[in-house]
Amino acid sequence: MSTERYGLLINYEFCTGCHTCEVACRKEKGLGRDKWGIKLTQIGPIEFNSDPMSRKWEWNFIPVPTDYCNLCKERVIAGKKPTCVHHCLAQCMEFDTLENLVIRAKEIGRKTTIYLP
């Protein structure tokens, strides 16, 4: 890694809640059962309209990196992506420089978050 700041962009609009990021991270870091490098959180289901003919729901899964996350520094030095990004089945996670992630988040527009360790 150079002196540039790197981070993780999570586009949770497309996260399916599969937990693959959690499993891959735990295996990569050798974490125990009660420790998480990234933890999937669930918000919802939330009903927005009580009219039975036009009910709208929101249900989000949001992967949240913890203090154990160092963006897989060893993998990145070896030219690989962080393991959560590599294994994300929905491909809703991106690893890049902070500058590029901000540009990308603006392109996506909604339901994105950027994590910096």
Q: What is the pLDDT of residue 1?
A: 46
Q: What is the pLDDT of residue 2?
A: 56
Whether residue 48 lies inside any domain: the answer is yes
| Alpha-carbon separation of residue 43 from 74, 98, 101 (angstroms) | 32, 26, 24
Q: Is 92 helix (H, G, I), strand (E, B) or coil?
A: coil
- Name which of 7, 29, 3 is nearest 85 in CA terms: 7
Beta carbons of 93 and 37 less than 8 angstroms apart: no
- Number of folded domains in the chain? 1
Q: What is the pLDDT of residue 106?
A: 96
Length of the chain: 117
What's the CA gap between 67 and 50, in Å, rounded? 40
Whether residue 1 lies inside any domain: the answer is no
Q: Which domain holds residue 108?
A: 6-115
Output the CA angle 90-45-67, nearest 5 degrees: 55
Whether residue 60 lies inside any domain: the answer is yes
Whether residue 52 lies inside any domain: the answer is yes
Q: What is the pLDDT of residue 4?
A: 86
pLDDT per residue of the chain (117 residues) written in tens, 0 to 9? 457 899 999 999 999 999 999 999 999 999 998 999 999 999 999 888 777 777 888 899 999 999 999 999 999 999 999 999 999 999 999 999 999 999 999 999 999 999 998
| Residue 103's CATH number | 3.30.70.20
User: How far, rounded to the nearest angstrom, does the alpha carbon of residue 45 sit from its chain's CA centroid?
Assistant: 19
Q: Is 57 helix (H, G, I), strand (E, B) or coil?
A: strand
pTM: 0.87
In the block, residue with structure tokens 């988040």? 105
